[in-house]
Chain A
Amino acid sequence: GNSVTQMEGPVTLSEEAFLTINCTYTATGYPSLFWYVQYPGEGLQLLLKATKADDKGSNKGFEATYRKETTSFHLEKGSVQVSDSAVYFCALSLASGGSYIPTFGRGTSLIVHP
C-alpha cells in the first residue's frame, strides 16, 4: 500500500535557522505530493504541492522538490520565524479506482524559539 514517512519531532530551532523536514514515500504509480501545516488548535492548511517529478512547490519561503529517484519530498526553509511553529504533514494523493485517496505522514512538530 501507499505510505508516507516523516522525520519524528519535535524539531526545535532558533529563529533564522535553516529548516529541513524529511519526507519519503512509497506508492504504486505517480502520486501528487503535498505539505500541509497545522497551527495550534486549527485544521490543516495546504502549504505547497508538486504534481510530477522534479516539480518544486514553494510558498511563504518554504520549498520542496518532488524527487522520484529518491521517492522524497523534503521540506526546507532558509530562515524560520517564531510564527512558523506548527505541525507539518507530508502527504500523497494517488488515484485508486477513480478516487484520489490521501495518505498522510504522522506529522512533525516544529518549535521555533526567538
Chain B
Amino acid sequence: GAVVSQHPSRVICKSGTSVKIECRSLDFQATTMFWYRQFPKQSLMLMATSNEGSKATYEQGVEKDKFLINHASLTLSTLTVTSAHPEDSSFYICSAREGQDVELFFGEGSRLTVL
C-alpha cells in the first residue's frame, strides 16, 4: 500500500518555542492531507484538512494561528505548532489520500512534549 512518512516521531521542546512536523507521501501524490490530534484514551480529533496549493480548512475550535498548516506540494504537508505550551503536548497524526480515493494512508504519528 501507499506510504506516508511523518517526522519527527518524537520531539521535546521548551514552552514558547515553535515545532514543525512534516508529513510526506512517499509513493503517491497526496492531493488532500488531514491532520489529527490524538488525546488520551485514544480519540482522534480532526484539526484541519489541507489541499495542495490552497489554504487549510480548520475544524471549529482549532486555532489557525496556533497550528499553521502548509501543503505546498503534492507530497509534503507541514504542521507548525507555534509558541507551544504544555497543553499542546499530544500525539499528532497526519493522513493523506490520492485524488478522489476514499482510503486514507496514515503517518506514524509524532509525539510532542512541551516542557
- A residues adjacent to B (C-beta < 8 A): 32, 34, 36, 38, 41-46, 49, 51, 87, 89, 91, 93, 95, 98-102, 104, 106-107, 109
Summed over the interface, the residue pairs from A and B with CB atoms below 8 Å come to a total of 57
3 residue pairs, one from A and one from B, having the closest CB atoms: A107-B42, A43-B106, A44-B106
- B residues adjacent to A (C-beta < 8 A): 1, 4, 6, 32, 34, 41-44, 46, 49, 51, 93, 95, 97, 100-109, 111
List 13 interface pairs A-B (beta carbons < 8 Å), by A numbering: A38-B42, A41-B111, A46-B1, A49-B102, A51-B102, A95-B100, A98-B100, A99-B32, A99-B49, A99-B51, A100-B32, A102-B34, A107-B44
Task: Tell me the interface secondary structure of chain A in the complex.
Answer: strand
Docked CA distance A100–B111 (Å): 27
Docked CA distance A107–B41 (Å): 8
Docked CA distance A46–B97 (Å): 12
